[in-house]
Structure 1
Amino acid sequence: MMKKIVLAALSGAALIAGAGSANAATATATSGLTFTVGAACTLTAGAVDLGSYVVGDTVQTYADRQGSINTANVITAGSEAAKTLASVTCPSGTAWSLRIAGAGSVGDFTVNDPSNNAVFSVLPYKRTVGGVAQAGYMSAAGQGATGTGTGAAQIVAGNFITRNATSAQLATALVTGTYTGAATATLTY
């Protein structure tokens, strides 16, 4: 008898469940998702080779070759061609700006001799961006190189010009060895 009661209870539960599903309804809607991936730009910058100098050359020789700016903000172009200061690659249509600056008050930085003695200050000065003339400083906020991405590398070319070099600094003889200076390149897009 025990088996019949159990079966009867299970059969009754099936009837109750079946009765409820006969009245159920369903509805569907389309669901989805969206997300955005921001533009990815790349910056390539490194040590810029400013050529070779010989014993007997002075800071004035450097200024004559690379360019200079005096205290009245008059820029004198150097005799050397612009060097690649950096390369920027951004997706087509992406606006970008590049600033190269040292720790000086206007983004200038010190050039040190092989014994790490400060000799003179320089400013990064742009001449072309992607082959198009765009002259000006690169060190102060709002004065960097600007462009719009093409999907290909855009070369920022220019020179590191002497800044406010005194007569005594310009007369300083260059010594044998490697001169160094440090700046930071910052790409905003």
Structure 2
Amino acid sequence: MAVAEPHTTPRRRAVRADAIRNREAIVEAAAEVLAEQGAAVDVREIARRSGVGMGTLYRHFPKKEDLVRTVLDQDFSRWAEAARQAAIDAEDPWAALTDFYRQALSGCARHRALMESFALTWTDPDAAGIPRLRAVLEELRVRAAELLRPGITADDLVLLLISLGYAAQCTDAGGPQMWQRLLRVSLDGLRAEHREPLPEG
């Protein structure tokens, strides 16, 4: 008579399911803490909020940088896609550019670590987020080319977003209308009726 094999598969699956849940809890907690406090956050706070021990956190993310990069890549993808979709939904090219900035800056205002990452990596061609951001803004720039003042580049639009992102973080608690006013002033400066040459980049 054949001897039945030990039932080990369910246990292995349960362990894998627990590991997946732990990893998801760590990433979710890290996203909250990084948005609130920036990349200088203590990983012990992430472990506390996720409900796992430090050993479990380090098994999933041996280096803090690994966790930060995972969260920023995930959050950037969601943020950029939401902003891009808002722009796509606007048929008018100028409205598309404006809607992109409004949506993007709403995200910037709530995510400190994302803004820190932009500021540190915007000239790095290997950084995950900036090339995607530049590609979206280049698409919007080409679409609105006849409405923009001569000489505006995608890099101008990236730097404008980063600088306005810091303004959004500084003022959002006091009311988003403050950074929205600054956005209006900045976008007006991009309009084609301003013909004077821009300084060389």
| Shorter-chain TM-score above 0.5 | no
Bigger helix share: 2
User: Using CA pairs below 8 Å that are at least 6 residues apart, which structure has the higher relative contact order?
Assistant: 1
Shorter-chain TM range is under 0.3
Bigger strand share: 1
Q: TM-score, normalised by structure 2?
A: 0.26
Larger Rg: 1
